[in-house]
Amino acid sequence: MMNEVVSANDFATASFEGAVDVADLVMRNKYLETELTELRNTLGRLQEDEPSLEGSTSGSGPLFIRSFARGTV
């Protein structure tokens, strides 16, 4: 196995690129959390406007919708 010598510049470049990747993932996660919150809020408003979703017992759809709106899915 060869020992590879990495220059300080290469190491710094790789570290910076890794930090950029992490920052990108954090920003995407924050965006997705915001979108999910908005969807749950919209779903909650729709449930208030459509009481038949609350009272329905047919299938698993309404239960899933209520669970999603509460954030338990």
- In the chain, where the domains are located: 35-73
Alpha-carbon distances, residue 51 vs 14, 24, 64, 70 (angstroms): 55, 40, 15, 16
Give the model's confidence band at 1: pLDDT under 50 very low, under 70 low, under 90 confident, else very high.
very low
Residue 21 confidence class, pLDDT cut points 50, 70, 90: very high
Predicted TM-score (pTM) of the model is 0.52
Taken in order 29, 32, 36, 41, is the CA torsion positive or negative?
Answer: positive
The Cα-based distances of 68 to 42, 45, 59, 71 in angstroms read: 11, 13, 15, 5
Q: Are 43 and 69 in contact (CB under 8 A)?
A: yes
Q: How far apart are CA 9 and CA 17, in angstroms?
A: 12
